[in-house]
Amino acid sequence: MAAPLLEIKDLVTVFHTSDGRLPAVDGVSLSIERGQTLGLVGESGCGKSVTAMSTLRLVSSPGRIESGSIMFTTEGESIDLVTTPEKQLRQVRGGRIGMIFQEPMTSLNPVFTIGNQIAEAVQLHRKVSRSEARSRALEMLHLVRLADPEQRLDAYPHQLSGGMRQRVMIAIALACEPDLIIADEPTTALDVTIQAQILELLDDLRSRLGTAILLITHDLGVVAETCDDVAVMYAGRIVEQASAVELFSRPLHPYTIGLLQARPNVDARDSGPLETIPGMVPPPQDFPSGCRFHPRCSHAREPQCNVEPPSLREVSPGHFVRCHFAEEINS
């Protein structure tokens, strides 16, 4: 079998602060196949963004990738993004892997036109003239279905709405026809109707261009509609991983179940108040012993859960879960 497009293995990213060594990402493994969408889900603060940033080595100090590997395979050639020289990494950034961020309002440079910013992405990776880069930028604006692309090419970011800016971000990320797009909560800051449009656009572009997507979100609803596979993250670790179909029909980890129950259900309007998981994701300095979820888990049993860290087990083909009692809870 061919190597997956991106394979993250045992990634550990730590922040060295006055609180000591904080492992925000603590042994994460993920893999994405060509043209597929992987959803990475978890509440705010569980380490999703740090994972995304680590992939392109964009974590800034005091953050550092401590160990692990990130194999990226294109055209039969594999490189480890953790160790590859800076120069080669820059060709991957924006060239082979595009990135979209959560904040469309601040992610574009306020002093350059959007045409300029898309063209820059092209010129950084391809030997093209200014006018070629500009026409590529226009083409991209058409592709992301921005209204009035000809006029918008010379607009500044402040002249666009949040949704339009996110389309521009997508245009930048896709400008060099990358193999993978990492979208870190691309719709979180947007209105609900705009969210749906952006997700639809991403999904459409993926099927037309064959770009794989790592879609990071805290919203399982988003995942259900767009992803092939799902990884659920909690406190720096993957706690459950399966295909989207499998995960939604047979969730095993109490955290996943909690997330699913916390979802507003459109079909059953009178199902009463939403159940939310009590408490919050602990920051790395307060990671509990044993299973990191046990203080919030209604099924937690002593002495196992608070002492023995569960490992990620394959309970059925392709379905992994990090819980001592997954089968019991769900039987």
Partner 1 sequence: MITYLLRRILLGLVTLVVITLMVYGLARSMPGNPLTVQLGESDPSRKLNPEDQQRMLEIYGLDKPWPVGYVQWISKVIQGDLGRSITRKQPVTQLIGERIGPTVLISGTALFLTWFLAIPLGLYASARGGRIDERFTGLVLYALYSFPTFVAALFLQIIFAVWLRDTHWELPLFGMSDLSSDAPFFARCRDVAWHAILPITCQTYVVLAYNSRFIKANLEEVVRQDFIRTARAKGAGPWRVLVHHAFRNTLIPLVTLLGLSLPALVGGSVIIEQIFTWPGMGRLFFESIRERDYPTIMGLTLMFSVLTLAGQLLADLLYSIVDPRVNVE
Cβ distance to partner 1 smaller for residue 174 or 259: 174
Task: Pick one of 1, 131, 158, 267: the residue that binds partner 1 (CB under 8 A).
Answer: 158
SS (H, E, C) the chain: CCCCCEEEEEEEEEEEECCEEEEEEEEEEEEECCCCEEEEECCCCCCHHHHHHHHCCCCCCCEEEEEEEEEEEECCEEEECCCCCHHHHHHHECCCEEEECCCCCCCCCCCCCHHHHHHHHHHHHCCCCHHHHHHHHHHHHHHCCCCCHHHHCCCCHHHCCHHHHHHHHHHHHHCCCCCEEEEECCCCCCCHHHHHHHHHHHHHHHHHHCCEEEEEECCHHHHHHHCCEEEEEECCEEEEEEEHHHHHHCCCCHHHHHHHHCCCCCCCCCCCCCCCCCCCCCCHHHCCCCCCCHHHCCCCCCCHHHHCCCCCEEEECCEEECCCCHHHHHC
326 binds, among ligand ADP, Mg ion, partner 1, none (CB under 5 to 8 A by kind): none
Task: Pick one of 17, 109, 271, 285: the residue that binds partner 1 (CB under 8 A).
Answer: 109
Q: Does residue 58 belong to the site contacting partner 1 (CB under 8 A)?
A: yes
- Least separation, in Å, of the C-beta of 66 and Mg ion? 20
46 binds, among partner 1, Mg ion, ligand ADP, none (CB under 5 to 8 A by kind): ligand ADP
Q: Does residue 55 belong to the site contacting Mg ion (CB under 5 A)?
A: no
Binding interface with ligand ADP (CB under 6 A): 15, 17, 22, 24, 42, 44-50, 63, 283-284
Query: What is the total residue count of the chain?
Result: 331
271 binds, among Mg ion, ligand ADP, partner 1, none (CB under 5 to 8 A by kind): none
95 binds, among ligand ADP, partner 1, Mg ion, none (CB under 5 to 8 A by kind): partner 1
Near Mg ion in 69-108, by CB under 5 A:
none
94 binds, among partner 1, Mg ion, ligand ADP, none (CB under 5 to 8 A by kind): partner 1
Judge residue 266's burial from the number of C-beta atoms within 10 Å of its C-beta, 0-12 exposed, 13-18 middle, 19 or more buried.
exposed
63 binds, among Mg ion, ligand ADP, partner 1, none (CB under 5 to 8 A by kind): ligand ADP
Task: Pick one of 36, 49, 54, 113: the residue that binds Mg ion (CB under 5 A).
Answer: 49
Q: Does residue 103 belong to the site contacting partner 1 (CB under 8 A)?
A: yes
Near Mg ion in 269-288, by CB under 5 A:
none
Q: Does residue 172 belong to the site contacting partner 1 (CB under 8 A)?
A: yes
* Residues lying near partner 1 in the complex (CB under 8 A): 56, 58, 90-95, 98-99, 101, 103, 106-112, 120-121, 124-125, 156, 158, 169, 172
